[in-house]
Amino acid sequence: MRNKEKFIALVSPETTNTVAKNRDRIKNRAMLRESQNIALKVLDKLEEIRWSQRKLASEMGVTPQQITKIVKGQENLTLETQIKLQSILKIPILASYYENIEEKSVSEVAITKTERYFAPKTRVKLADKTLLAKKEFKMEYNPISEKYNYFEQTA
């Protein structure tokens, strides 16, 4: 048996919908992030008031399985469910849009802070001569990605 025949024997004849699933996930990325943020708020509040998920389910009038879906961050919550969570747990779920805007405006101010950074001496080739020189970089901190960005200074 040759390699090609071995490979064909391993490949499943069934078609998969992996590409379609990934496209849907990418399309719904914003909704999933918001669901995960709500899940974190709910879990934090439940821990703070020392409630179980079962207690929250009984207060909301839903099944414990529904609460499990909510705290996993995989549930597309209806407006009614969000309002129930907000009123029972007394947490701002629907205000997350405004919280994000405030965070972005604070981080945009922080991004403008730059510093100069000198790299260690590096070899620079100039007209058949190799010299040791220091390169100068501009360094910016991006609080959103929590990383430093380096830009080489040009004269």
Task: Provide the token pair at 114.
Answer: 């730059």
54 has pLDDT over 90: yes
Higher-pLDDT residue of 63, 113? 63
Higher-pLDDT residue of 26, 143? 26
Q: Considering only CA atoms, which of 74, 69, 94 is closest in space to residue 32?
A: 74
Average pLDDT for residues 50-73, to the nearest whole number? 93
SS3 50: coil
Q: Considering only CA atoms, which of 149, 123, 155 is closest in space to residue 136?
A: 155
pTM above 0.85, yes or no: no
Higher-pLDDT residue of 112, 6? 6
Average pLDDT for residues 14-43, to the nearest whole number? 86
Task: Provide the token pair at 110.
Answer: 């922080």
Task: Round the average pLDDT of the chain to a whole number and report it.
Answer: 75
Contact call for residues 110 and 78 (beta carbons, < 8 A): no
What value does the CA radius of gyration of the chain take, rounded to a whole number of Å? 26
Model confidence band, residue 43 (pLDDT cutoffs 50, 70, 90): very high
Beta strands in the chain (DSSP E): 114-118, 122-126, 129-133, 136-142, 147-152
pLDDT for 152 equals 63
